[in-house]
Amino acid sequence: MAIIIFYKVSAIAFYLFLPFIYLISLLPFPLLYLVSDGFYVLLYYVIGYRKKVVMENLRNSFPDKSEKEIKRICKDFYHYLCDLFLETFKTLTISKTTMLKHFYFAPGAQEVFDKLANEKKSVVLVMGHLGNWEWAGNTFSLLCKHQLYVIYHPLSNKYFNKLIYDMRTRFGTGLIAMRETFREMVVKRNEVSATAFIADQTPSPEGAYWTTFLNQDTPVFTGTERIAKKMEYPIVYACIKRVKRGYYQIEAEVLCMNPKETKDGEISEMHTRRLEKDIIAQPEVWLWSHRRWKHKRKVA
């Protein structure tokens, strides 16, 4: 949502917006969510941003749900999308103490990363656009021994790209441009690192791994699997759970200790199944406005 607003703005327009963005980030949480409620009314009832896409995705993903249930999830999603938008800007000024109050590790998750770090094992971290993934990076960098690197797409708007870059790196997270992923991981292989892949993006259908995801034929990005095998890094799956408004916890589990010993597609299937399970548990906090199923599998 933030990207949509600032993607093509001029430098003058961006700097006119910037004080407003910082003002939003300084609001106490009760006021922040009051503003979010207002944005929800505007986004859902007035603008109707991608509502057709969201409803189609929900209907196809949950064919057994009634239209009433689908509309309820749709509204909850838009409400959450507005929260996510403002929480992201909150990252500009949030303190470390407040960050760790609102986002924390579930029992056992810290131990997963501590054990691997103590063994000097770098990891490939795989997750989806579920919950507040921006805050997840901040919290990981504050609590874990691994140096976190997040794979990202640099934005064409250099002003907004710098804003996002600064937000994501405030607490020590490093960013790697997607096209540089493997090269940068090789360069940094002497570090004990965790490289985070958001694996539910839409890849080019050629060369993708195809599976059934949320009742639909779906291409899966294979970079996570291929790079983990080349680097011989264990794969850790992370799930962000929304505990209540403004509060999250992250769960983690080792999906695969030895990627090279797996068959092609096995790792992609594993993390896709785990993400699917988590989306079903909390559907309103996944990114339904994403055109996840815009590609169709070619029939041979």
Q: What is the pLDDT of residues 81-109, one digit of tens each?
A: 999 999 999 999 999 999 999 999 998 99
| Structure confidence by residue, pLDDT tens digits, 54-90 | 999 999 999 999 999 999 999 999 999 999 999 999 9
- pTM of the entire structure? 0.93
Taking the C-alpha atoms of residue 119 and residue 203, their distance in angstroms, rounded to an integer, is 33
Q: Residue 43: pLDDT band by 50, 70, 90 thresholds?
A: very high
| Structure confidence by residue, pLDDT tens digits, 256-294 | 999 999 999 999 999 999 999 999 999 999 999 999 999
Taking the C-alpha atoms of residue 254 and residue 264, their distance in angstroms, rounded to an integer, is 18
Q: Residue 169: pLDDT band by 50, 70, 90 thresholds?
A: very high
Burial of 34 (0-12, 13-18, 19+ CB in 10 A): exposed
Would you say how long the chain is, in residues? 300
Q: Are 61 and 214 a contacting pair, CB within 8 Å?
A: yes
Round the average pLDDT of the chain to a whole number and report it: 93
| Structure confidence by residue, pLDDT tens digits, 193-218 | 999 999 998 998 888 999 999 999 99
Burial of 126 (0-12, 13-18, 19+ CB in 10 A): buried
